[in-house]
Structure 1
């Protein structure tokens, strides 16, 4: 019996069957544009690095990659938008340290651990402890000595709740056994301006935001938050050297996708970003900003985030900060 007759008889008998060979699906992104959501205002470190990556990522993916800023609520507005986006790979989140801090300070409209998939940790950027050029404190030791002698008198500025500019000094407070008063501003840029104008005694700011001001002499750097001294500021000691105890604090940057995104898309995006970060021009730009490239796997990034979440949870609890 030939195959055509057999198929006709099976059809007449009501027998149905499926093809054993799956239908080929178009490979993501198949020429469709990809949006990278940065949950902060334009001009910051996260925004600058996201745009640098986007310039080259489009070539790797053979499609247009655009950066969209959705700022507000220390990053929560943009983060929520991605967490609730379709898991098709066309909406990507480029985020930073506040994602690990905010859940301990406020009630969140989404669960970052459950609603977002870590793709890769892009890099980390240390911060400089800076004081106004008119400050009477010549060294970080002098500053901390004064802070111990007058608890709650010295002030530090930040871009507001949830920022690493807020939590890094709190972490130092606890490690050094001092108490400083937090003065929040509406943005990190305004906090930098406040230090320059001597409205506050001190501020922790990442290198891209403050390096130019240090080099021009409008502020002075007394310490750096990395584990080792930075080649761009070889005479600036680490906080660890100053307080005699282990201390590290960075602004990390990383990429996420909405929950439900296929492993194939997650892995393709991770590989593409890693290739972008290996481009000499991109590496040179990161180095010029004082940032260190990480380019981790999804699992490595997930483990890093777990450690960050635990650390900031402990910092918030020890500081007695109430969740809003």
Structure 2
């Protein structure tokens, strides 16, 4: 009687294994078939800014590597939260991606109600690059250093203006931190993106900006704008002669803007791994690094786990700054 029982158990185990393989087969085949159509890379900022430039530097080569076109889709608005919300609700099949940014870690604390959770609604893939923010004035300004900017601000309390890419963006928070450390009262002027912000800075409608280096670099090189200081902890390799805010007397000031690729939460791990592998190859390539030098960006290309930790740490960091600055948006 023992032999039949053992045979039955073996048959049961074999049947269970066969059933499990049968369930896994469609998923494996589906993962291998990805991508099955063009991929949309959603940029939540208007065209012309750093996120748009970075996205377009990636798409052609990523499309070639994946065998499907990667199309940049602009969905700006509400401090980059509209585009993020759109991607968070997209099908988690790897065909809709987000060009995320540090702004999204700030929005978590700034907006009282968000239709998504940035730490839970997305699957991090890789951080593409860090772009230093830079304190810039019109070339006609009398300010040539940070002390000069502070002097002008103190001479016009509540009227000396700085522009940002919108309420709750990193430029906004950099401005509030700068004002607090300098003991000045600045007028915040939010814009819908870097293009209109830079236009008004060139035209003299605002006094300074703390925008990313990419959209203002050509105007700095042309002598139309003057870079006073970078906001990151170390100097920019693109503008090595420009001091940091920390070097200019604002101790421990270290803020920049990173951009990275994310997918909707629940995207198959195989797809996330493939995207990370292909993107890191591109980011670490000589051609891409050369392009980053041209726009003042520093390529990164980390793992999904490292990007996840970065998001978690920055969310906590900016929650403190937002509370100190008393910034809130309904």
- Residue by residue over 1:67-95, the C-alpha shift from the partner in whole angstroms, topping out at 9 and shown as x without a partner, is 21122222222111110111111111112
Shift of 1:264: 1.6
Is the Cα contact below 8 Å between 2:48 and 2:215 reproduced in 1?
Answer: no
Is the Cα contact below 8 Å between 2:134 and 2:210 reproduced in 1?
Answer: yes
Q: Which residue of 1 aligns with 2:11?
A: none
Q: Which residue of 2 aligns with 1:95?
A: 100
Moved more, 158-167 or 276-285: 158-167
Is the Cα contact below 8 Å between 1:91 and 1:257 reproduced in 2?
Answer: yes
Shift of 1:244: 4.1
Give the 3 Å change call, closer, same or farther, for CA 40–59 of structure 1 in structure 2. same
Q: Which residue of 2 aligns with 1:56?
A: 61
User: In the aligned structure 2, how far is the partner of 1:30 from the partner of 1:98?
Assistant: 29
Shift of 1:259: 1.1
Which of 301, 312, 317 is matched with 2:318 structurally? 312
User: In the aligned structure 1, how far is the partner of 2:129 from the partner of 2:66?
Assistant: 21
TM-score (norm 2): 0.87
Which of 45, 48, 57 is matched with 1:43 structurally? 48
- Residue by residue over 1:222-244, the C-alpha shift from the partner in whole angstroms, topping out at 9 and shown as x without a partner, is 11112222243232111111124
Shift of 1:168: 1.6
Is the Cα contact below 8 Å between 1:79 and 1:93 reproduced in 2?
Answer: yes
Q: Which residue of 2 aligns with 1:13?
A: none
Shift of 1:267: 1.2
Which of 240, 243, 264 is matched with 2:246 structurally? 240
Q: Secondary structure of the residue that 1:239 maps to in structure 2?
A: coil
More helix by share: 2
Q: Which residue of 2 aligns with 1:6?
A: none
Give unpaired runs (5+ residues) of structure 2: 1-7, 9-13
Is the Cα contact below 8 Å between 2:46 and 2:192 reproduced in 1?
Answer: no
Q: Which residue of 1 aligns with 2:206?
A: 200
Is the Cα contact below 8 Å between 1:94 and 1:254 reproduced in 2?
Answer: yes
Is the Cα contact below 8 Å between 2:168 and 2:327 reproduced in 1?
Answer: no
Shift of 1:136: 2.0
1:294 aligns with 2:294: no
User: In the aligned structure 1, how far is the partner of 2:33 from the partner of 2:178?
Assistant: 45
Q: Which residue of 1 aligns with 2:82?
A: 77
Aligned residue pairs, count = 310
1:65 aligns with 2:70: yes
User: In the aligned structure 2, how far is the partner of 1:316 from the partner of 1:76?
Assistant: 17
User: In the aligned structure 2, how far is the partner of 1:48 from the partner of 1:146?
Assistant: 33
Is the Cα contact below 8 Å between 2:233 and 2:244 reproduced in 1?
Answer: yes
User: In the aligned structure 1, how far is the partner of 2:29 from the partner of 2:237?
Assistant: 49
Give the 3 Å change call, closer, same or farther, for CA 148–311 of structure 1 in structure 2. farther
Q: Which residue of 2 aligns with 1:271?
A: 277
Root mean square deviation of aligned Cα: 2.1
Q: Secondary structure of the residue that 1:112 maps to in structure 2?
A: coil
Shift of 1:203: 0.8
Q: Secondary structure of the residue that 2:163 maps to in structure 1?
A: strand
Give unpaired runs (5+ residues) of structure 1: 1-9, 11-15
Q: Which residue of 2 aligns with 1:229?
A: 235
Is the Cα contact below 8 Å between 2:131 and 2:257 reproduced in 1?
Answer: yes
Moved more, 173-182 or 141-150: 141-150
User: In the aligned structure 2, how far is the partner of 1:108 from the partner of 1:55?
Assistant: 32
Q: Secondary structure of the residue that 2:217 maps to in structure 1?
A: helix
Shift of 1:163: 2.3
TM-score (norm 1): 0.89
Shift of 1:66: 1.7
Q: Secondary structure of the residue that 1:318 maps to in structure 2?
A: helix
Give the 3 Å change call, closer, same or farther, for CA 78–231 of structure 1 in structure 2. closer
User: In the aligned structure 2, how far is the partner of 1:244 from the partner of 1:188?
Assistant: 25
Is the Cα contact below 8 Å between 2:48 and 2:194 reproduced in 1?
Answer: no
User: In the aligned structure 2, how far is the partner of 1:145 from the partner of 1:121?
Assistant: 38
Q: Secondary structure of the residue that 2:241 maps to in structure 1?
A: coil
Is the Cα contact below 8 Å between 1:175 and 1:247 reproduced in 2?
Answer: no
